[in-house]
Structure 1
């Protein structure tokens, strides 16, 4: 049976990562990063390997010409290998934004940024880079200067290597995203918000959305940091928990948003996307206020159908197009 291009790439990622994992006595994800580096550089860069292991790896690598595959084929195979590694990982922050959500983000960013032939895009919680590279691969007709920030050393390394393999020139920064960012203001932000408490109370002090007492919500601070990092008139696309405005700290968030941005839309993702309905999420679209900008006549509020339901999706796209005609194009 003929295997797909994605399976071909995945098999090489998986087999060579397993070899390196055993030889280097490291985790599968660390080994995956190492094999990704080898594939990108076209040679084996680990000097401590035995001669036998080098030969085994060379044989495997010779079976794959990475340049023969599309960016999306590489991304999906790499994502699959990362997901395999994450199953064995004990770190709860090792999670990945699903492909289907990335495609919805891509569609929305295309719609809202349609008038720009080039723009800058920041993901302040880039993780393994899957969301950001999904968007970039879907928008290869637009010149996008992109940035990714993450505090996790391993995740940012995986993101960097994945971007290299996909020929996506993303600039990565390995730091706490809630510390000052040495990145110029951007036209757009995309972020799968990390939900939870921010342990650095001292670092939270500079934020308007800090908690009055105790730890602050990291997701609130990420929203504030993202808005601060966005140019006036720029857009922000967040993946948010459905209960974002139900916490005891939400009145402060609501007030801050009303002062800083115009809410464009809240698109509730189908619960079928999530194993636990209580973990269901929505896409929250904002535009940073600027003197010449008006708020939309009405906020785009939608319950997205299952992406596999083609007729329902076409109907929803029609509704979104109508909203754009009435609220964006007439401004």
Structure 2
């Protein structure tokens, strides 16, 4: 028996392969095209031959999207995107691993438990995989969400991904370190793009700009995110473990002390990464505001392997206890 995710992935994969040949485009572009077709239940590309158009329509007809859950749709689409990314990966086209996205969703829902309505921003939205994972795990809340990314293909995939899951996300195809036309957010989530930011002229607007040479993009993203967060709002970043040991970390430290309180730092299991240099953590900040108090002690933990159910249950209990004492839940 195939699972719903496998069935849906096969549809995306087979139809994208047909479109890739017909349109003479990359597999990843074809995934965006076929996702659009699935959403409309039709073949939108005029260049497709009559024979293949018939074949595609038949495939699309056989799949009824409303029989699948959002998470099934997201996972199947993600598998097709990952296949496409393997073909021509640029370093910044790395998708947040699923286990991390799910854990991030759990943490976001814990911190936003009391919110009935909230606004979420992901300033490095990519294909919207992380953002839709979080949205799918916030049932019963009124959520407005925004995503921005400089890469036009990734934004197209994000748009198709959001449509297929019926998640009304407002997407912006732009350099996220330029001014954003979004409401201030209650929550920012971001798998920080790590590296140097090439636009020195724009970087010069930021407090965290480098004294000389290029500035760190990941530092500027933290500053930009805080700028677009409401007072008392929460920020959840996936950060490189080297964030506080780099040559510009003293400046970052001072800036964070002024602007935010650190709620937590959760180190992801080493087993998830090729080497120590690639290792990441979830960094949780709260923007300073009138009623914001720093926790007596921040939520600090080294997470066990996500596949180790027992150790994860112990960790979840510790996190629950922290919330009970710090957040009085």
TM range (shorter): over 0.9
Distance 1:166 1:293 in 2: 35
Which residue is equivalent to 1:267?
Answer: 266
Three-state SS of the structure 2 residue aligned to 1:207 is coil
Distance 1:274 1:71 in 2: 28
Alignment of 1:36-47 (within 5 A): 36-47=35-46
Gaps of 5+ in 2: none
Which residue is equivalent to 1:301?
Answer: 300
Alignment of 1:233-248 (within 5 A): 233-248=232-247
Deviations 1:110-166 (A, max 9, x none): 111111011000000000111001111111222211111000000010011011001
Gaps of 5+ in 1: none
Distance 2:72 2:89 in 1: 28
TM-score, normalization: structure 2?
0.98
Alignment of 1:144-163 (within 5 A): 144-163=143-162
In the alignment, structure 1 residue 231 sits paired with structure 2 residue 230: yes
Three-state SS of the structure 2 residue aligned to 1:62 is helix
Distance 1:189 1:131 in 2: 12
Alignment of 1:169-208 (within 5 A): 169-208=168-207
Three-state SS of the structure 1 residue aligned to 2:300 is strand
**2:109–2:137 Cα contact (<8 Å) kept:** no
Which residue is equivalent to 1:167?
Answer: 166
Deviations 1:14-59 (A, max 9, x none): 0000000000000001001000001111111111211112112112
**2:41–2:61 Cα contact (<8 Å) kept:** no
Alignment of 1:1-331 (within 5 A): 2-329=1-328
Three-state SS of the structure 2 residue aligned to 1:190 is strand
Distance 1:18 1:322 in 2: 50
Distance 1:47 1:143 in 2: 39
Three-state SS of the structure 1 residue aligned to 2:62 is coil
Three-state SS of the structure 1 residue aligned to 2:32 is helix
- The alpha carbon displacement at 1:90 in A equals 3.9
Three-state SS of the structure 2 residue aligned to 1:158 is helix
Distance 1:194 1:91 in 2: 12
- Greater Cα offset, 293-302 or 90-99: 90-99
Distance 1:163 1:210 in 2: 34
Deviations 1:1-24 (A, max 9, x none): x11111110111000000000000
- The alpha carbon displacement at 1:299 in A equals 1.1
TM-score, normalization: structure 1?
0.98
Corresponding residue pairs, total:
329
Distance 1:299 1:139 in 2: 24
Deviations 1:240-298 (A, max 9, x none): 00010111100000000000000000000001111223211000000000122211111
Distance 1:100 1:235 in 2: 21
CA RMSD of aligned residues (A): 1.0
- Greater Cα offset, 88-97 or 76-85: 88-97
Distance 2:305 2:90 in 1: 30
Deviations 1:222-241 (A, max 9, x none): 00000000000000000000
